[in-house]
Structure 1
């Protein structure tokens, strides 16, 4: 593990693999840093930088005391610190909340390109009704932290529905330790619910926006909207892939990404 510091003194911890063009992999949601393990072998010609998101890590770290209004700024600060720390001009590859972070950081950081798989952005009509953060907060206040995290998993990870959530959780490596991060997940969801996609995103670098047909419809809609808001972007939709596309089909995703970066 290596460390650097952001401009405001926040410690940023990351793994470094390989030797080549720098590629920073930004995980999202409650996914741990290890989310990218299936992808890394497909980028052997790159230096892959895999940071530990502040407040998340492997779901065993202590949650940070950060307000919802500060969450996205904190996230972009740690990405800027990584951009400044690596040798060369990096590519940012983000998934979900990591994709949103990558796009926001790219508005004022020197990067080569951004790859964004289903950025965690809510369409206006969906955002106006979003109440996941409130429902989770109410459950936490009632002492039902496990139930709060289950609501997140049901709505974000399995919006299509799941027959036996408890059986699925029994096989999920992050359960139940990730319950410790319930408060941080509430703050992150509030940040998502309050984020409004501007009509124009001031990102000078080219952006590859990716989505899958088997993920949440609202994220596919937002991916289209992000593509339209960017001055230089390409949009690719993968048939049959879910919101977990990068880890679900790493060879397919990495092939598309490398084709984009080669141009």
Structure 2
């Protein structure tokens, strides 16, 4: 994954170019350091855990000096939550943003073949959202375990992310209901449920993913079966009957 593509100039201190050093601008050097730090954070937070990782370990893994670390991810005060965030918390928050952007891009770029049936379509939607985390479980651990309860600023961001994912689920299943003419009562999100159906689905899938990460690999069901089960549960939550979700295993 290319972390540099998600760089935001306002979030990098000291990025004004002051000339070239060995043919590289300060902006480019800072971008490369930032990318290496995010890659190191994914590796270490996703294996040792956020609280088990020191800044020294991050700098050693990334080959970035501690001075550059604090310049790129300075401790700061959250304006919204009125709390102080450490440099490591700033790094974790940015990693959380980047990983969620990857999932959003996967959902946005999803295409469904015209010949897909209801169950296959649903599996493709679920797979787009979950495969980045299933293919690299360090991402699942960072997003769903390590980022939980760190500070109120990140908790607020997590709640907003859940609402955004729930809205995306609503849009996806509204299209599914329309495409496959699911006219049964409850076959599409109720306009008066306040988004509860989609929030419950997203929350349930999140917990299922956490349980999977904590389950030893030999004891897990195959990834394809996991995606199939999640897809069938989601369809039933939206009111599709057993005959509609039977599909082909």
Coarse TM-score class (shorter-chain normalised): under 0.3
| TM-score relative to the length of structure 2 | 0.26
| TM-score relative to the length of structure 1 | 0.25
Relative contact order, CA 8 A, sep 6+: which one is greater? 1
